[in-house]
C-alpha cells in the first residue's frame, strides 16, 4: 500500500468504520499540498492527522487528536478540520510548506471578455461555453487546457482581423518550441525548432495541429454567429503537414504472458482485462459488475472520451475471465480493485512500470500499449478495420487505418504466398523466418513528412519544418 493513497471521504462515521486497520494513515485532499487524514491501527487507536507538502518535495504531518468514535470527547470531522487549518497557518509550517492550489480539474477559461473589439479570446469564450454543453467532460477539460496554455497567453487580446499570416506563423513556431506540460509538473525550457529531434518534432506537430484545429473552429463559429465579418479569418488558418507514425511495437502473445507473470496478482487481472478488450485503463477501472454480460456476449463500456458508450464483444476465454471476476458481487461493485479493496484509479502506473522492467520489455512500454496490442493482433489476424474500430470505440476506421493499417500486410502476404504459383522449386529459406521475427522491432522511419498531404499550408512555417525534417533524414 502506498503511503500517499487517498481514502473515501473521512467526513462520515460510516466510511470511517468501514476502513480496514493499517499502519499508514488514510488521506483526503483539502487542497493540493494540504491533507486531512485518519490513522486507524489494529490496536483500535483512531486519530485525526494533518499533512502538508514541503518545499523540498517531502511531507510533514502532525497528530490532531482522537476520533469521536474512539473517545466520547474525541474530535468530529469539523473540529479536526478546524485544527488542521490552524496548523496549516502556523508561521513555522507556512515557511516550509509548498503553496497550496485548488483540487480538481480547472473548468474555467483564463480570459475576461473584451468590451471593445472582438478578439481571439472572445472567440475562445464562445467556443468554450458551447463545448461545455456539447462535449464529453474529459474532451472538454483537455480542450480547455490547450486553450488556456497555448492560445489565450499568445493571442487572447488580439483582434481577430489582425490574425495575419506572420502572426499565425510566429504562434505556430512558439507552440512547436514550447516544451510539453503535464499537469503541474515542472515544464522544460524552450527548444529551438532547429534543435528538435525527429520524435519530439513529430509530437509537437501533432499538438500544434490540435491547437490549430481548435483556433480555426472557434473563429469559424464566430463568423457563423456574425461576430466577425469575413470567412477569410478562419479559412487562412491551416494545419501543418504531418503524418502519424504507425504503431511499431506491440506485445506478442509470449511477451503478454511474460508480462502477466511479472505483475502482482491484482495488477495481472487488470492487464488481462485490457488484453481481452482493448479498453483504456480509465474504462477498466470504472467497469462495474452490471456491465459484464449485459445484453450481449461481452461487456458494456460507459462513455469516457465522447457521449457514446460501446459494447465490446469477447471471445469465450475473455467472457469466462470477466464472469469469474464478478462472481458473487453486487451490480454496482467494481470489476477490478486493488488487493486492498481500493479503486485502481491513478494507482497502476508505478506498479506496471516495475512489471514491464521485470518482464524485460522496452522501458517506454506503458499500459496504453495493451490497447495497441489488442488492436494490432486483430488487424494482423485479418479482422476488418471497421470491426476493430467498433471494438475500440472509434467512430470510423481512419485512426485504425493510420495506426495499424501497415499490419494488414500480414494478411496480404499470406494471400500472395498461398496463391502465387512458384516459378521454380525453392527450399525453405531460414532468412525468411529471421526477417519475419525482426520486423516487429524494426526502427521507426527517420522522417515524418508525408509524400502526399491534404493540407494546403504554405509560407515560412512550412519551409522551416520541411528544412528541419530534410536535415533529420
User: Is residue 175 within 8 Å of 150, Cβ to Cβ?
Assistant: yes
Lookup result for grid cell 502519424: 244
Residue 272 lies in a domain: yes
Instruction: Label each residue of 370-426 as H, E or C.
Output: HHHHHHHHHHHCCCCHHHHHHHHCCCCCHHHHHHHHHHHHHHHHHHHHHHCCCCCCC
* pLDDT tens digits along 96-122: 998 887 766 677 888 888 778 899 999
Average pLDDT over residues 330-359: 86
Report d(CA 241, CA 259) in Å as an integer: 37
Shared domain check, 164 and 210: yes
Confidence of residue 130 (pLDDT cuts 50, 70, 90): very high
Looking at residue 5, its pLDDT comes to 45
Residue 7 lies in a domain: no
Shared domain check, 364 and 274: yes
Shared domain check, 306 and 193: no
Looking at residue 442, its pLDDT comes to 43
Shared domain check, 300 and 365: yes
Looking at residue 267, its pLDDT comes to 92
Shared domain check, 341 and 383: yes
Residue 306 has pLDDT above 70, yes or no: no
CATH of the domain at 350: 1.10.443.10
Residue 41 lies in a domain: yes
Confidence of residue 92 (pLDDT cuts 50, 70, 90): very high
Q: Which one of 31-45, 182-196, 368-382 scores highest in mean pLDDT? A: 31-45
How much of the chain, in percent, has pLDDT values that exceed 90?
30
CA dist list (Å): 389 to 136, 216, 246, 292 = 19, 27, 16, 21
Confidence of residue 274 (pLDDT cuts 50, 70, 90): very high
- Compute the Cα dihedral for 466, 469, 471, 473 and give only its sign: negative
Say which range, 248-252, 285-289, 337-341, has the weakest mean pLDDT. 248-252
Looking at residue 452, its pLDDT comes to 39
Domain boundary among 96, 123, 140: 96
CA dist list (Å): 18 to 7, 227, 331 = 11, 56, 20
Instruction: State the residue range of the domain holding 186.
Output: 105-245+446-473
CA dist list (Å): 100 to 11, 95, 370 = 21, 13, 36
Residue 445 has pLDDT above 60, yes or no: no
Say which range, 19-28, 43-52, 398-407, has the weakest mean pLDDT. 398-407
Side-by-side strand order, sheet with 46-53: 26-31, 34-40, 46-53, 59-66
Domain boundary among 69, 96, 123: 96
Shared domain check, 227 and 129: yes
Lookup result for grid cell 488521506: 27
Looking at residue 443, its pLDDT comes to 41
Shared domain check, 241 and 258: no
Say which range, 143-152, 257-266, 360-369, has the weakest mean pLDDT. 360-369
Q: Each residue of 84-114: b (16+ CB within 10 Å) or e?
A: beebbeeeebeeebeeeeeeeeeeebebeee
Looking at residue 389, its pLDDT comes to 81
Q: Which cell numbers hold the place of 441?
A: 522491432
Residue 458 lies in a domain: yes
DSSP codes of every residue in 126-159: HHHHHHHHHS-HHHHHHHHHHIIIIIHHHHTTSB
Looking at residue 473, its pLDDT comes to 57
CATH of the domain at 241: 1.10.150.130
Looking at residue 191, its pLDDT comes to 86
Looking at residue 245, its pLDDT comes to 57
> Which residues, at least 6 apart from 434, have a Cβ–Cβ distance to it below 8 Å?
none
Report d(CA 159, CA 144) in Å as an integer: 20
Residue 416 in 3-state DSSP? Answer: helix
Shared domain check, 138 and 69: no
Q: Which cell numbers hold the place of 104?
A: 480538481
Shared domain check, 267 and 235: no
Residue 265 lies in a domain: yes
Residue 304 lies in a domain: yes
Report d(CA 60, CA 50) in Å as an integer: 9
Average pLDDT over residues 249-260: 86
**Helix (H) or strand (E) run with residue 299 in it:** strand 298-301
* pLDDT tens digits along 317-339: 888 898 989 888 888 889 898 88
Alpha-helix residue ranges (DSSP H) falling in 225-348 = 232-235, 253-262, 265-277, 281-285, 316-326
Nearest to 280 by CA among 374, 359, 361: 374
Shared domain check, 265 and 394: yes
Domain boundary among 96, 121, 144: 96
Burial class (CB in 10 A: 0-12, 13-18, 19+), 74: middle
Residue 160 lies in a domain: yes
Shared domain check, 312 and 275: yes
Mean pLDDT value across the chain: 82
Shared domain check, 265 and 218: no
* pLDDT tens digits along 132-184: 888 878 788 889 999 999 999 999 999 999 999 899 999 999 999 988 877 66
Looking at residue 1, its pLDDT comes to 33
CATH of the domain at 69: 3.30.160.390
Residue 2 lies in a domain: no
Lookup result for grid cell 478578439: 119
Residue 307 has pLDDT above 70, yes or no: no
Overall number of domains in the chain:
3
Amino acid at each position: 500500500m502506498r503511503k500517499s493513497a487517498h481514502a473515501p471521504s473521512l467526513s462520515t462515521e460510516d466510511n470511517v468504520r468501514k476502513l480496514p486497520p493499517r499502519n499508514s494513515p488514510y488521506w483526503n485532499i483539502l487542497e493540493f499540498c494540504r491533507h486531512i487524514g485518519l490513522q486507524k491501527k489494529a490496536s483500535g487507536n483512531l486519530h485525526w492527522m494533518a499533512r502538508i507538502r514541503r518545499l523540498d518535495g517531502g511531507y510533514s504531518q502532525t497528530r490532531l487528536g482522537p476520533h469521536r468514535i474512539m473517545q466520547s470527547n474525541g474530535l468530529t470531522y469539523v473540529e479536526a478540520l478546524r485544527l488542521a487549518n490552524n496548523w496549516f497557518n502556523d508561521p513555522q509550517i507556512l515557511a516550509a510548506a509548498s503553496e497550496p492550489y485548488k483540487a480538481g480539474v480547472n473548468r474555467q477559461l483564463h480570459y475576461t471578455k473584451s468590451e471593445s473589439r472582438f478578439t481571439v479570446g472572445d472567440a475562445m469564450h464562445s467556443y468554450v461555453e458551447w463545448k461545455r454543453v456539447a462535449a464529453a467532460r474529459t474532451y472538454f477539460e483537455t480542450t480547455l487546457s490547450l486553450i488556456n496554455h497555448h492560445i489565450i497567453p499568445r493571442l487572447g487580446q488580439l483582434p481577430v482581423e489582425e490574425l495575419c499570416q506572420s502572426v499565425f506563423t510566429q504562434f505556430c513556431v512558439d507552440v512547436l518550441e514550447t516544451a510539453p506540460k503535464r499537469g503541474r509538473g515542472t515544464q522544460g525550457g524552450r527548444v529551438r525548432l532547429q534543435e528538435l529531434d525527429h520524435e519530439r518534432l513529430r509530437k509537437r506537430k501533432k499538438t500544434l495541429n490540435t491547437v490549430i484545429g481548435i483556433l480555426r473552429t472557434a473563429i469559424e463559429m464566430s463568423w457563423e454567429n456574425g461576430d466577425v465579418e469575413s470567412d477569410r479569418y478562419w479559412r487562412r488558418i491551416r494545419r501543418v503537414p504531418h503524418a502519424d507514425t504507425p504503431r511499431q511495437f506491440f506485445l506478442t502473445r509470449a511477451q503478454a504472458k511474460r508480462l502477466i507473470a511479472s505483475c502482482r496478482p491484482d495488477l495481472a487481472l487488470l492487464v488481462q482485462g485490457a488484453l481481452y478488450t482493448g479498453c483504456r485503463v480509465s474504462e477498466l477501472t470504472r467497469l462495474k459488475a452490471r456491465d459484464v454480460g449485459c445484453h450481449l456476449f461481452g461487456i458494456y463500456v460507459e462513455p469516457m472520451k465522447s457521449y457514446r458508450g460501446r459494447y465490446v464483444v469477447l471471445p469465450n476465454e475473455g467472457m469466462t475471465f470477466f464472469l469469474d471476476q464478478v462472481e458473487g458481487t453486487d451490480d454496482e461493485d467494481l470489476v477490478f480493485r486493488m488487493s486492498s479493496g481500493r479503486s485502481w484509479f491513478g494507482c497502476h502506473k508505478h506498479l506496471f512500470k516495475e512489471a514491464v522492467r521485470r518482464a524485460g520489455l522496452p522501458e517506454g512500454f506503458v499500459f496504453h500499449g495493451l490497447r495497441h496490442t489488442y488492436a494490432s493482433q486483430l488487424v494482423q489476424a485479418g479482422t476488418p478495420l471497421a470491426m476493430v474500430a467498433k471494438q475500440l470505440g472509434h467512430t470510423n476506421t481512419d485512426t485504425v487505418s493510420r495506426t495499424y493499417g501497415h499490419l494488414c500486410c500480414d494478411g496480404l502476404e499470406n494471400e500472395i504466398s498461398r496463391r502465387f504459383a512458384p516459378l521454380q522449386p525453392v527450399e525453405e529459406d531460414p532468412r525468411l523466418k529471421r526477417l519475419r521475427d525482426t520486423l516487429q522491432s524494426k526502427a521507426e522511419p527517420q522522417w515524418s513528412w508525408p509524400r502526399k498531404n491534404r493540407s494546403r499550408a504554405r509560407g515560412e512555417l512550412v519551409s522551416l519544418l520541411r528544412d528541419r525534417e530534410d536535415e533529420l533524414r
